[in-house]
Structure 1
Amino acid sequence: MSTTVLHARTLPGDAEQRWPARLWGVLAVLCLVVFLDGLDGSMISIALPSVGHDLGMGTASLQWIVNGYYLGYGGLLLLGGRAADMLGRRRVFLIALGVFAAASLLSSVAASGSLLIATRFVKGVAAAFTAPASLSLLTTTFPEGAQRNGALSVFSLFGALGYSLGLVLGGVLDGFGWRYVFLMPVPLALLALVVGWKLISRDRRPRPGRRDHADRGRRRVR
């Protein structure tokens, strides 16, 4: 009898923890993007010798292929978070993701080292906008509590997985040619862009707060 009562009590709680298909889709998109951010930062180092041999780049120039990405990523990360708050999380996320895919495609067909470094910097800038926007979308999409904590755990896991698998995937793709290393993120980014466009809720316009009403009142008095 006690077992039956305990089972009946746990069923409602389990039902509340179940996520609808849309939430699973949003989480998959956000995890894929943070996975690409980590993956792109680690797997490129494997292809540097092939890039230097093909494009005639020295060691110092090759290092800027890696540094350019992290320079754009780390230098504009705070700006990316601020832009997501001001312009809208969904809008900033999708635009930056599209720029990331375009820069990846350009880097895979680059015929000079300077162009390759430039596209890498642009990719870093795009990642600096997608990363905080992804985290902000996750915290606003999932309710506070167990659901948000679970989503954050999966999100962090995919970010770390991207860095660790980048070395393996970079070595495999470099065997076919270094351009495949730079091209690989393109279809995944486009997939995340299309699915995110359909599943992520549109940004809500902020309602005027008390401060706005107070400012209007002051203007009328003046």
Structure 2
Amino acid sequence: MMFALGLPAIGLISIGAVDLSNVQSSRVRLQDISDAAALAGANELGLAIDDKAAIARAESFVRAHIADWRSPPEVQMSITVVEREGRRVMEVILDGHNDSFFGNLLPPGGWNYKVKSQAVAVGMTPLCVLVTGTSKSKALNVKDQGTLQAPACLVHSNRDILVEGGSIAASMVQAVTSARGVISPKPGTGAALIEDPFASMVIDDNQACPASPPKEDVKTGAIASHPVFTAAATRWQAMRF
């Protein structure tokens, strides 16, 4: 008789243990996502664009991993860039919620937990080549025997990169859609768009052209690119490869 009376209590304890185990597993997985997102965002901070690009990268990383999660918890994210000892730090805070097996009665309102991660870029890579066009293919196109060399720089295209016969060598190479051809190091794709830093500049196109304007038309050959340190071009963009 006593055993029969104790069966419901034993059942509730067993169910509660399973429920708690699932919550702990969800919390650990959410922490892993938070850590990886912070690192992805920190990579963005290692390149000279702005904080918004790094935050957008971390947010998209979190959303992608939550989308791949079968029966994920409800997740609210708070992703910011904070200053610590003169360095920009990517901070990712994720609040998770799981419904309780007991109709959110135990604990009241269900299971709530929070994970937090911080990461900082260890190096900086200047942005030297930025292709802002987004509509036409072959936005950055190196042909024949042409070479684009930017050994200490980032080369970024807001659309694609296609090398046909030539080569690109840089510290980092990335594109929003695709990057093909002889490119060193291996290029990254899926990068966030980088806005034209000079789009807001007012250019007076009514000025007379000089009598003998300089001409520069390079179809083949080597182009050596060096860092361009301007207020608009020294914010950084990176991506996960």
TM-score range, shorter chain: under 0.3
In proportion to residue count, which structure has more helix? 1
**TM-score, structure 1 as length reference:** 0.28
Q: Which has the larger radius of gyration?
A: 2
**TM-score, structure 2 as length reference:** 0.26
